[in-house]
Structure 1
Amino acid sequence: MVGIAILINPIIIERTASGALLGQVMALIGGAGLLAPLIGGIADKYSCHRMMQRMALFTHFIALLILYFAETSTTIYWTVGALIGIGSVALLVLNPTFVIASSKNQQEEGRGLANLYQCQFFGIVVTGLLVALADYLSVSTDNQLLILMGLVLIVLTMVTITPPPKVEVTSGTEHESSELEHKSTSAKKALPWFLFLLAVFFSMFLSSNLMELGPLLIKEVYKVEIGNSALGMAVSAVISIFMLESAGRWMQKSGPFKVWYAAQAAYLVVGSLFWVTSGHDVGAVLPIALLVVLMQAMSWNDMIIPAIAGRLSPNSPALTQGLLMLCMAGGFGVGAMLAGLSIDKFGYASVFTLSLVGILIALTCVAGLVMVSRPKTTSVASA
């Protein structure tokens, strides 16, 4: 997925010289997040999680194959964007579902999620190095696509030979026998689940804006070259591989909520410091260091929220992850749109204000979640 993201942008620009087409393709890839609940719901309804994982990888392969032969047709690039988006969203929904569903206890869940996200960051590092090596050896983008297609086929073969654990979904008979109890549980979980999704949505205002626009914002506001910011982010990706291990162990010991609260607190600190220092003469180390801290908080947040969703949601496993992905994609899209409007009207520094407002709203939702959940915890303890 990282390799596709790195290669598709320069290929479209190189072949079509159209920034507008590139934006449309990126919008299709991001917009596929709206299909996340549908993908998760279908996987749960028909118990086809493994098959859909293989289909997602095959979709990536077909997209790369089409991209290899594509020339300048707008429709072809739209098709590529749609296929990449659908395949990526399916993997992002299903992979945490496999981990959570196969975990027998909190310790296995924490270790499994930590390993999953460590592999993702390891993929970022490895893919970045491979692309850099290919550029250094002057390997053409067409040949890079062939290499990437080969990697996708290898992964597809691996999950076909050794598929992930089967996801058990409650059968219709079991559901009917406990219908009244299920409705009661769903009603109790509805408000905490809604507050959690709201918190995720608004926290994306800060995480998405400051990560996607971070190097540009640091250049425009703090006069730090983008290359320095990019280097800091690359180093941060390596650090995240090790920091996720500590987050996983903390989750095994104390559960996911404390890790999530710590990530939100880090968001608040980073957002506040960016807001306070913007427009002031500060050293280049400070904004880059804040970006590194933010990336660690994001890695903890992204690792832990699937587990929290599994605890709070009244829905089936993959549908739960699909709804979570929808809120993340929605927060990313709305946050990016507001950031763009804010830059045009108020300048680059205004994005820090928008981000801080977003995390403050998210923390309000977190506080509401804690208050709503507390009576339930008390009643269960007394029972």
Structure 2
Amino acid sequence: VSIGDSPVKNWRLSGTAAMPTASNLDSGNMDKYKKSSYACQACPIRCGAIIEQGQGRFAIAGEMHRPEYESLAALGNLLVNDNLESIIKANDICNRYGIDTISTGTAIAYAMECYENGLITRADVDGLELTWGNADAIVALTEKIAQRDGFGAVLADGLAKAVERIGRGSEKFAMAIRGKGIAFHDPRMSPAGGTAFISDANPSHHMNSQIAGMLENGTPIGSDPVLQVPKLDPFGDFDKKGPMYALGYAYQQLFDDAGMCALYTVNTQPPDLAELISCVTGWDFNWEEELKAGRRVLTLRQAFNAREGLTPDQIDLPERLKTEPLKPGAVPFPKIDFHALRQGYFKAMGWDIKTGIPARPVLVELGLDELTKDLPA
């Protein structure tokens, strides 16, 4: 929140000036609930934690994992909610019902803005007072969504259906891409991140742009010649970044496919993945082959969407994120031409910007010709 990357009040505000009590949500404040640490398979860092919070009106039954960043943002600062115990409770409800915290928080934020603007009333929402920061209402509505109870059923199928049901111009409050809630990293601060939101085969995904962002900001990702890119303006040169993004996204794709921890790609130079794969498999696997493998996966995923009729013009950021500046208290950033960035990336990948269909020579080069014969001509 302090640097403006994490949204406040349904992406209308940012920074600690908008939410001075945001530090209540700092992870360290949950140390008093911590029972033990846990890790992904074989990881020595053990960054996860098991917590227990059995006191007060937001007590949970038994143990749960400590809420992580996206959940804290979704059920916290997005809703101007600084009550940490209520976030733990709402996160626990989502866990027990198997629903996504990003989608839940985004749906509640949409409903709160509808309520604020008189599109829905207290009678419509089962008597809840859906005002910003109302922790009790947030927990109650999370439970209602999970159980499809009352107004919760209006939101339970996601934002696209909720907008259909409420109507009345409420789509401008739905902060989603094709109905999918946006992960809580503001694209107005990251050209590479925002481009990934509207260019990846899984729109609004937030775990695929870190390496492209490192390249964009001049951070080296390795010494091999194929990993070098020209220095460009992080908030400019929009027509020149296609090859840079193609390299970064392909590297990230294979990094994920290899089962590597994404935290390796957060502002630190990642390990030599080509060398690691060679050591584990015995393959003679160099960086050119690695990036080709990453492009192959990206292209196959894109081909699937194109076959199903999902074209680039159907995927875009909400109008609020394209037209409204970050405010208040955040560093002002120039306006980003995400459409030019996407067009450059698609061109570098050999994908048609109108249809999304990969060019046939690209499919042949990547060994995907046989798998993509059902693509439209």
Q: TM-score, normalised by structure 1?
A: 0.30
Q: Write 1 or 2 for the structure with the bigger share of strand.
A: 2
Of the two structures, which has the highest relative contact order with CA contacts closer than 8 Å and spacing of 6 or more?
Answer: 1
Q: Write 1 or 2 for the structure with the bigger share of helix.
A: 1
Q: TM-score, normalised by structure 2?
A: 0.31
